[in-house]
Structures are given as C-alpha cells and as structure tokens.
Amino acid sequence: MKSFISLNISIFIISDTRNERSDRSGKILEESLKKSGHKLAEKLFIEDEEKLILKHLKNSIKKKKVNVILLTGGTGLTGRDSTPEAVKKILDKEIPGFGEIFRYVSYKKIGTSSLQSRAIAGLANGKFIFALPGSPGACKDAWNDILKYQLDSRTKPCNLVELIPRIFEKKKAN
C-alpha cells in the first residue's frame, strides 16, 4: 500500500464581509485538511477584488512550501464575484473535470441551483488551485466528495498527488 503524503495547503477566503469570527467555510476547509493529515500553509481573508485575489495567488504560487491553494467565495454570478476571473489569469492548465464533478455533486443536493456555481480548478507554477463557492455546504461537499480523495496519495486508481513529481516534465523531442 502507498504511504500518505502530507501536503501544504493555503486557504483564501474571498469575501467583503467575512473575518476570522464570522467565517465558516474557511474553518470547514481548515479542519477538513488537518483531519486528513495535511498542513495549513497559510490562511488569508481577501476582499472580492480581482486584482487583490490575483496578487495573493501570484505570491502564493511562488512559495516552495505550498502545494495546493483552496479559495472559497467569489464564484457566483453577481457583479462582485471575481474569483474565477482571477484564477483563470494565472493558470497554466485548467482541470475542467473538477468544476463538472463539483456541479454534479451539488446537483444531487441542491438541484438546478448548482448551475450558478463557477467552481474551477487548475495548475499554476506546479500548484493545484481550486476555487469553491463560499457556502459551508459547498466547501463540505467539495472536500468530502472530491478533494479528500484527489489530495490523498493512497487513492486508487489515481490521484493528483502522484502527479506532483511529474508536473514540470517536458515532452521529449523527436
């Protein structure tokens, strides 16, 4: 059996109103990742401003100790929601299956309201980035039904952790 590999995970709470006391979604993610055996690399509260989100993402993807960045909030359809736009600007590769599976999981719980989610994921500078809705239920669903398994090196038949050593491999020239 493969051994567990602990990852360093950053959490960004994207909100104009949440703080350490009023935040529930970030707390759920923090507790979940620690319970799974991972380490919290950093936890930041960031206003829902595309430039601010992008600035913090750029800083975080430069940190060697960070493997994964989880963002919660700012993925809806209102004028203030700008997380997906910021994330898309730094991605090297998108992971479209994450958003698709997340909306499928959500659909089973909240029906057609799940179409309002713009949850996305991808890779930037070798870091996995996941943008989740800001609701506590959405964060629980994303962790318990997707991330817990894909961020566990023991998950079969495959998981994201086993890709980390090969992310920067280049194609061999013919």
Tell me: pLDDT of 173 over 80. Answer: no
Residue 77 falls in which region: left (phi positive, over 0), alpha (psi -120 to 50) or beta: alpha
CB 122 within 8 A of CB 93: yes
The DSSP code sequence of the chain is -PPP---EEEEEEE-SS--TTT-SHHHHHHHHHHHTT-EEEEEEEE-S-HHHHHHHHHHHHT-TT--EEEEES--SSSTT--HHHHHHHH-SEE-HHHHHHHHHHHHHHHGGGGGG---EEEEETTEEEEEE-SSHHHHHHHIIIIIHHHT-TT-SS--SGGGGGGTT--PPP-
Which option is the CATH number for 8-165: 3.90.25.10, 3.30.420.40, 3.40.50.2000, 3.40.980.10? 3.40.980.10
52 in Cβ contact with 112 (< 8 Å): no
pLDDT for the residue 170: 80
pTM: 0.95
List, edge to edge, every strand of the sheet that includes 68-72: 39-46, 8-14, 68-72, 127-132, 120-124, 93-94
Q: What digits encode the pLDDT tens for the residues 146-171?
A: 999 999 999 999 999 999 999 988 87
| pLDDT tens digits along 26-66 | 999 999 999 999 999 999 999 999 999 999 999 999 999 99
Q: What is the pLDDT of residues 95-128, one digit of tens each?
A: 999 999 999 999 999 999 999 999 999 999 999 9
Residue type, position 117, single letter: S
pLDDT tens-digit profile of 55-76? 999 999 999 999 999 999 989 8
Q: Where are the domains of the chain?
A: 8-165
35 Cα distance to chain centroid: 17
pLDDT for the residue 169: 84
Contact 135, 15 (CB under 8 A): no
The CB-side HSE value for 141 (13 A sphere, CA atoms) comes to 22
